[in-house]
Every structure is written in C-alpha cells, then in structure tokens.
Amino acid sequence: WSVINTLSVKLARKHHDCPILIWTNKPDLIPQEVHDIASVTFISLPTHAGETKIEYPQYVADVLRLDLLYVSGGIYMDTDILLQKPLTEFLSEERLVMSWETPDRRSISNALMMSPTNNLFIEEWLRRIPDYEVVPDAALRTRTGIVATLESLPLRWPVVG
C-alpha cells in the first residue's frame, strides 16, 4: 500500500458519497486513515476460474474484480487511479462502461469499470478466462448494447519513477 493508493481512495471519497469498499487479502497493510473513509474487507484470492486452476497471476486479479462487479455492480477502480471529478455522468444502468487502454484502441482497460449487476459482457469474459482468451475488440463492436467505451475519463494514472 502506498501514498498513491491512499490518495486514490481520498479522491474517490471527495467525488462520491457512495460506500467505498476495498477488498484485499492484506487488510493490515492499509492505513487507518483509509479504514476511516472506506470499508476494508478481507477476501481470499481466487485459485480457479470456474473449474480451471488459474495459472497466471494477472488472471487472479481479473477473476476477483470481475466476480465482484458481476455480483455487486457499481464502480470497480484500481487504487492507483486518481479521480479528477465524479464518474456519475458515465454510469449506466444497462451497460458495462470501460475505457480504451491504448490510443490506437487495440485494448480495453479493466482498471476502471462501471457496471450493473449480472452484466452479460462480464459473464462472457469470466466464461472465457479459463481458456486464457483475450476479449477481442470485435466484442465491443458487436455488443454495443452491453459495453460502452469512453474517449477520456476524469482520472490520471500517476507516473512513479
């Protein structure tokens, strides 16, 4: 846990009055000032996607964030994102909202996702993880009623050097 992570949570609180939930397998590392403004909950990391053992560490985080968002809906945000204004205008009751990760639009980012519960795109994404498939950009074009992408979000990823 770093100063950037704490600042991320503080900015989320500044811009949103909804509950902030932090799911972590290491709650002892999170400072008290974050516990004071967010609900910090211990969670065991997933070891399987469906019946398939997760082989790659990056898929552990994917399964965890996607499962939580699928079941609970709301906003998922990595704690290295610094909000500059509220995300309210981007929320959708029907679609998953994500941003492009690269300027050439070849990859979508899962660092910030907003979704209603039981989103069909997330369901399909979770279904494909055991096969280690990457959701192709074509899925965004063919399922436009399910996914919306944003040209620019009111946030910054900090440069740490």
Checking DSSP bridges between strand 108-115 and strand 52-53, what pairing results, if any? unpaired
**Angstrom distance (rounded) from CA 10 to CA 122:** 28
CB of 75 within 8 A of CB of 87? yes
Report phi then psi at 33, rounded to 5. Answer: -60, -25
More reliable by pLDDT, 150 or 19: 19
Over the stretch 48-73, which tens digit does the pLDDT of each residue have? 888 888 877 778 888 889 999 999 99
C-alpha distances in Å from residue 6, one per residue of 41, 43, 153: 16, 19, 20
Pick from 5, 2, 14: nearest CA to 84: 14
Residue 47 pairs with which residues in a beta bridge? none
pTM (predicted TM-score): 0.74
Over the stretch 128-147, which tens digit does the pLDDT of each residue have? 777 654 444 433 443 444 44
Report the chain's mean pLDDT, rounded to a whole number.
79
Over the stretch 14-49, which tens digit does the pLDDT of each residue have? 988 888 999 998 999 999 999 999 999 999 998 888
